[in-house]
């Protein structure tokens, strides 16, 4: 089997754009011939925590892929995602909170919330049928863009796990849980992206997907085989692949082969490999989420009464504090009224805000200018080491991210 894989090291938005663009030219033979082809990009929008926390796909990487496709001449490009069930249930648009809708508008592409799509049924374990979004099945070319991160139930979440967001709404996503790893493999048997582009620019270690620690890994993996990419990602994080439940299920199903193992172990990861902290949940959450007890937990979780309780602030916070739930679904939106800029505080020689701006604005010079094209992603504000960029408005849900990640984001940026 001929495997295709590129490992790119990058930091700034310009570097990402140049290096990813160059690499994608090597995959041009896979792209559709017709410029009218439907091209769907599927990033990871697991929660409203932006890419700098290590949880979701970096807008800079998605922007570089869109620019490449537009330069090729493709006219029908969409960004599509069915975000995490809890946000969907709470009526929160993660697509908007992460500024993917504004990124799409900026570059003139479409955005689709797959949680509201028509369904195409696929087979899950025990004869269960689950609905995948029709736009995903109908795409002429699908590009999977996962975030590289740890996951307390699956071990790691990369290419294979990211396709869970192709399921329509909570009612279909919850069907995965009884046989999580096997059902993720089942999705991958039916949904076959032509290309996988893994965002390991800032990854997450520890208690992922939403309570871990961001680490700057500065790497993008590009390839055609999700099993190989997930295997290489496990090696990159220095994880035993057999502990990554999705990879183990793929191996049991004969989809991850000795060829994959041989090829992955032949790749030189010097300079990109680092030991990730494992996703170890607290004793209570581990007890409840153990695969042996999962069916009892799910039997309770899927009742109407429990769902109603989950939507209450008190019970929701209790689940978050005990570690049974990874997010607390803050409903207060951010009201962003622009930035202030204190030139006296700006550090001489620093270029971080410009390095992180997905739409490549001339920062910091225009950061406080009106109608400067800003998409409100907050990356510049979050990485600024000196407080020279000031937020105007009310932070809303972003205050929780600042509480957990402000210090480390500035440290690793």
Strands 5-9 and 213-223: antiparallel
Local structure of residue 48 (DSSP, 8 states): S
Residue placing its CB nearer to ligand SF4 in the complex, 254 or 349: 349
Residue 355 CB, shortest distance to ligand SF4, in Å, is 8
User: With contacts defined by CB under 6 A, how many residues of the chain interact with ligand SF4?
Assistant: 27
- Of 338-377, binders to ligand SF4 (CB under 6 A) are 346-347, 350-353, 356-359, 361, 363-364, 367, 374-377
Distances from the Cα of 340 to the Cα of 237, 367, 368, angstroms = 39, 8, 5
In the Cβ-directed half-sphere of 398, how many Cα atoms lie within 13 Å? Answer: 23
Residue placing its CB nearer to ligand SF4 in the complex, 227 or 356: 356
Burial class (CB in 10 A: 0-12, 13-18, 19+), 369: middle
Residue 58 CB, shortest distance to ligand SF4, in Å, is 11
Residue placing its CB nearer to ligand SF4 in the complex, 203 or 378: 378
Please pick, from the candidates 10, 31, 384, 398, the single residue that binds ligand SF4 as defined by CB under 6 A. 384
Please pick, from the candidates 386, 393, 407, 411, the single residue that binds ligand SF4 as defined by CB under 6 A. 386
Strands 195-205 and 213-223: antiparallel
SS (H, E, C) 210-254: CCCEEEEEEEEEEECCHHHHHHHHHHHCCCCHHHCHHHHHHHHCC
Is 388 a binding residue for ligand SF4 by CB under 6 A? The answer is yes
Taking a C-beta distance cutoff of 8 angstroms, is the pair 153, 289 a contact?
yes
Helix, strand or coil, per DSSP, at residue 339? strand
Residue placing its CB nearer to ligand SF4 in the complex, 201 or 384: 384
Residue placing its CB nearer to ligand SF4 in the complex, 194 or 390: 390
Residue 367 CB, shortest distance to ligand SF4, in Å, is 6
Residues 329, 334: Cα–Cα separation, whole Å:
13
Residue placing its CB nearer to ligand SF4 in the complex, 190 or 360: 360
Residue 102 CB, shortest distance to ligand SF4, in Å, is 8
Residues that bind ligand SF4 (CB under 6 A): 346-347, 350-353, 356-359, 361, 363-364, 367, 374-380, 383-386, 388-389
């Amino acid at each position: 089997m001929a495997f295709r894989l590129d490992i790119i090291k990058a930091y700034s938005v310009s570097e990402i754009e140049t290096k990813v663009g160059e690499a994608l030219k090597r995959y041009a033979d896979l792209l559709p011939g017709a410029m009218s082809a439907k091209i769907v990009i599927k990033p990871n929008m697991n929660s409203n925590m932006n890419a700098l926390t290590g949880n979701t796909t970096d807008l800079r990487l998605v922007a570089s892929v869109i620019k490449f496709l537009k330069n090729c001449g493709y006219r029908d490009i969409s960004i599509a995602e069915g975000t995490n069930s809890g946000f969907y249930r709470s009526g929160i648009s993660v697509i908007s909170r992460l500024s993917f809708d504004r990124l799409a508008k900026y570059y003139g592409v479409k955005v689709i919330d797959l949680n509201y799509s028509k369904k195409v049924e696929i087979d899950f374990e025990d004869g269960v049928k689950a609905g995948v979004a029709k736009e995903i099945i109908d795409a002429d070319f699908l590009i999977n863009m996962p975030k590289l991160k740890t996951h307390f139930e699956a071990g790691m979440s990369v290419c294979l796990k990211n396709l869970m967001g192709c399921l329509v709404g909570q009612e279909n996503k919850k069907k995965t849980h009884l046989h999580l790893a096997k059902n993720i493999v089942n999705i991958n048997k039916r949904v076959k992206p032509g290309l996988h582009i893994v965002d390991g620019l800032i990854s997450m270690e520890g208690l992922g997907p939403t309570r871990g620690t961001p680490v700057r890994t500065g790497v993008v993996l590009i390839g055609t085989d999700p099993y190989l990419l997930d295997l290489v990602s496990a090696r990159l994080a220095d994880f035993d692949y057999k502990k990554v439940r999705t990879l183990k299920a793929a191996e049991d199903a004969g989809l991850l082969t000795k060829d994959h193992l041989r090829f992955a172990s032949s790749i030189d990861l010097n300079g990109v490999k680092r030991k990730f902290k494992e996703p170890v949940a607290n004793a209570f959450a581990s007890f409840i989420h153990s695969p042996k007890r999962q069916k009892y937990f799910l039997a309770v979780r899927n009742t109407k009464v429990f769902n109603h309780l989950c939507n209450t602030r008190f019970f929701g916070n209790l689940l978050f504090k005990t570690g049974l739930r990874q997010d607390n679904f803050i409903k207060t939106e951010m009201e962003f009224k622009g930035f202030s800029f204190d030139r006296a505080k700006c550090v001489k020689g620093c270029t971080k805000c410009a390095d992180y701006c997905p739409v490549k604005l001339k920062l910091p010079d225009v950061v406080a200018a009106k109608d400067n094209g800003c998409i409100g992603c907050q990356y510049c504000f979050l990485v600024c080491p000196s407080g020279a960029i000031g937020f105007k408005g009310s932070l809303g849900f972003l205050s929780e991210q600042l509480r957990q990640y402000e210090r480390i984001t500035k440290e690793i940026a």
